[in-house]
Structure 1
């Protein structure tokens, strides 16, 4: 069995529920064939989220780490690149709101995901679910965790691979009820994420298909 670590976030701001954590728990209960998945909840807090993530990687010793975050996306959104900056229009759950701060002092400007992102997206699309390669994870806590994860894997990760995936809201969430964001039931989202995990476990190399953006 291949060990996989999947992380989701605690509820943010006024929400009482976070689909990223619900999806992570579903993956732990029903992992892809040949995988043993451990789900860990991260605080939506700068700094503390990376401490919890680092401890989880050390404790579980996974071959693959996939962090999941919530965003107003239409489906599975596999992130390409994490950038070394915190720049926040809103505070995190601890009230912190860093502006133009590096995540890792003297760290590289960016890290690319080591998931086969285009292959993952293509395989999810084959199931009939919307999936895309995303060119930005923002500059809030999701990007903070994505960059922190890739820096950890680059400096202490040995042969581990990892990346970040954004998922949609679920229909019962307040923002969806107000008509502000798209949604999917978390069970459907978890099915798409399961395809991402199984594809990443089966393939280390990506495919050459267009998945760029003009703006």
Structure 2
């Protein structure tokens, strides 16, 4: 049975919820496929997140799919690259590779979502904050430990409820649509 680690982040800053965690909660309420999905919520703290991720990856997974919210995003973003850089410009891993590219066919993944009526795009990299760190460190730790796990980072738009509570005019996407997209992607990559 294919084993997949699905991670999301806790709330942070002005957002009392995180669309990534809301989507995972929704997914686990209805998903009944044949995959062994293990879900985790990570803190918005680089040191704690990286230690939890490293420990979790040791358990052995075929895939590690990390989710994060992207305020202002109009579509689901499939991140192609994790960079060895922190927000302050220093490296995540001293002497580590400059970047890791996802080995999954992201154009095909985006096409599958588009065919299902879910807007998405392949994005060049996950920024320089914690989402980027999760993508980079996931691949770095697997490489370092000789694990075959393939990694992917997916940025999700805010939910309509988040936008309404915030009183902003940011783009949003429903939680059921996001969780459906995640299910489609895990089923596709597990084939």
| TM-score of the two chains, using structure 2 as the length reference | 0.92
CA contact (8 A) 1:21 1:41 kept: yes
2-structure distance, mates of 1:123, 1:33: 18
After superposition, give the CA deviation of every residue in 1:59-113 in whole Å (9 maximum; x if it has no partner).
3x211110001002122210001110012xxxxxxxxxxx111001100000001
Partner residue of 1:131? 120
1:58 Cα offset (Å): 2.2
Pick the aligned partner of 2:96 from 97, 102, 107: 107
Partner residue of 2:42? 42
Partner residue of 2:132? 143
1:157 Cα offset (Å): 4.7
2-structure distance, mates of 1:124, 1:102: 33
1-structure distance, mates of 2:132, 2:171: 21
2-structure distance, mates of 1:150, 1:176: 36
Q: Say which SS state the counterpart of residue 58 (structure 2) adopts.
A: helix
Q: Say which SS state the counterpart of residue 13 (structure 2) adopts.
A: coil
Q: Which runs of 5+ in 2 are unaligned?
A: none
2-structure distance, mates of 1:157, 1:30: 34
Higher helix share: 2
1:28 Cα offset (Å): 3.5
Q: Say which SS state the counterpart of residue 44 (structure 1) adopts.
A: coil
Partner residue of 1:11? 11
Partner residue of 2:173? 184
2-structure distance, mates of 1:138, 1:79: 9
- Map residues 1-215 of structure 1 onto 2, 5 A cutoff: 1-31=1-31, 33-59=33-59, 61-71=60-70, 72-87=72-87, 99-174=88-163, 177-202=166-191
CA contact (8 A) 1:170 1:184 kept: yes
2-structure distance, mates of 1:182, 1:188: 14
2-structure distance, mates of 1:4, 1:47: 23
Q: Say which SS state the counterpart of residue 47 (structure 1) adopts.
A: helix
Q: CA RMSD in A?
A: 1.7
Q: Which runs of 5+ in 1 are unaligned?
A: 88-98, 203-215
1:179 Cα offset (Å): 3.2
1:33 Cα offset (Å): 2.8
2-structure distance, mates of 1:16, 1:185: 17
